[in-house]
Amino acid sequence: MTEKGNILMQRYEMGKLLGKGSFAKVYHARCVNTSHSVAIKVIDKDKIFKCGLMDQISREISVMKLVKHPNIVQMYEVMATKTKIYFVLEYVKGGELFNKVQRGRLKEDVARKYFQQLISAIDFCHSRGVYHRDLKPENLLLDESRNLKISDFGLSALPDCKRQDGLLHTSCGTPAYVAPEVISRKGYDGAKADIWACGVILYVLLAGYLPFQDKNLVDMYKKICKAQLKWPSWFSSDIRKLLRRLLHPNPSARISIAEIMEHPWFRIGHPNHGKLFDYTMNSTDNVMPIDMNLALDHSNANTVGGNQAVEKLTNLNAFDIISLSNGFDLSGIFEENSNKEEAKFTSTNTASTIITKLEEIAMSLRLKITKKCGGLLKMECSKPGRKGVMSLNAEVFHITPNFHLVEIKKTNGDTLEYQKVMKQVMRPALKDIVW
């Protein structure tokens, strides 16, 4: 259905693959009736159902219906079959802003233009109660006229996502662009978190590199929470003043969008100062009604076989990883805590591959698997040691479909026996799947 040259739903001629992610592929396509170019995001229903992402997809569709703005990628329609969901989107041919920054920092007037367009679009989103929560140069596209377009509202939030305290509590986003209050996990204002991300983006555009970076994830978060900025020599005093207010660690003291629009540096050459866009879609938008029930119905979808235990893995994000480990740096080598009774490693293998490998190791050690549930394996020796029967828990945590964290803990028995098993057997046996 999605091969190049095929006609989708008698409406779109599918073209070349533009990109792919964990759950979706994006193709260039052409409307059969109008010859208008579009991008079609093809989402696999089985994968998103297994990972519990249907609510996220539903929310993304709802959000895209709300945000009609010239600096936001538009959704034209949503279609579905038994196994796939199709987002028909505006085709933006200029690529990611990230690719432009990779070649070096931007000139100040160019960076200011993109920042003005970004703020105008985010102001519009916030006026509709939409918070993006994953703003970064990779999610900012450029059209053929070099105008900015915000994409990927997959992590966005609506007012109904707030709790009774009026704040959002889901920790999400890309680590280098996330606000200090999101890291703290005590609740945050979605608008203030977006403004912080806009500040990081502005710094990156002007400097060519991130304001807070470290190979160790925890150390990077410490830098973010302190918000200690270093200024390149070419940053003017106006830019520094604006960035200090954008990247203020206290969200209540952080600059608002209305104040950004009044800032002298921002106002230079801004054609729509202080105004929201009144955007009316043109005839090429061809927006069709979205059948949410069809798009999200999974009752007739094909069932993909496989290890049923893997389907119920615990999901982790970068913020959960921090709580699991002090100083965990995602290096892929074993990391052990101070009492030497647990170890962690990361792997790019599938969960089923990791679990199968752990089962093989258990058999070689003559360990009895006493419980297997989701990504959890409980194992114990058949004979007691110096301090009773040694038992281990090995649990696989889902971070992304191609990235897992494995935690091995001693739950009973002698620590020295556990360390011997880890050093002489577990480590060597697992070396092929440790990333």
74-98 pLDDT, tens per residue? 999 999 998 999 999 999 998 899 9
In which residue are the tokens 């390149």 written? 232
pLDDT of residue 315: 57
* Average pLDDT of the residues of the chain: 82
Residue from 359, 350, 353 nearest 398 by CA: 350
Check pLDDT > 80 for residue 274.
no
Q: Distance between CA atoms of 182 and 195, rounded to whole angstroms?
A: 13
Indicate if the pLDDT at residue 192 is higher than 80: yes
What pLDDT is attached to residue 289? 46
Q: How sure is the predictor about 298, in pLDDT bands with cuts at 50, 70 and 90?
A: low
Q: What is the pLDDT of residue 16?
A: 94
**pLDDT computed for residue 319 by the predictor:** 53
Of residues 415, 423, 422, the one with CA closest to residue 394: 422
Please identify which of the residues 134, 152, 189, 194 carries the catalytic annotation: 134
What's the pLDDT tens digit per position in 98-147?
A: 989 988 999 999 999 999 999 999 999 999 999 999 999 999 999 999 99
Which domains does the chain show, CATH number per domain?
7-91 (3.30.200.20), 97-275 (1.10.510.10), 308-430 (3.30.310.80)
* Beta carbons of 132 and 192 less than 8 angstroms apart: no
Average pLDDT over residues 187-208: 96
Q: Measured between alpha carbons, how far is 100 from 87 in angstroms, rounded to an integer?
A: 26
Q: What pLDDT band is residue 412 in, cutting at 50, 70 and 90?
A: confident
Task: Give the mean model confidence (pLDDT) for residues 7-15.
Answer: 92
Q: Assess contact for 373 and 311: CB atoms under 8 A.
A: no
* Best CA proximity match to 142, nearest among 200, 90, 208: 90
- Indicate the SS3 state at residue 207: helix
Mean pLDDT value across residues 44-50: 87
63 pLDDT above the threshold of 80: yes
Nearest to 217 by CA among 53, 22, 353, 405: 405
Distances (CA, A) of 342 to 87, 412, 418: 44, 12, 9
Q: What is the pLDDT of residues 351-391, one digit of tens each?
A: 888 888 888 888 888 888 877 776 788 888 888 887 888 88
Query: What percent of the chain clears pLDDT 90, i.e. is strictly above it?
Result: 44
pLDDT (average), residues 147-154: 94
- Residue 114: the pLDDT is 97
pLDDT score of 2 more than 90: no
pLDDT above 60 (res 327) = no
* 134 labelled catalytic: yes
Q: Give me the percent of the chain exceeding a pLDDT of 70.
A: 81
Q: Please tell me whether 16 is known to bind a ligand.
A: no
Is the separation of the CB atoms in 325 and 344 below 8 Å? yes
pLDDT-based confidence at 330, cuts 50/70/90?
A: very low
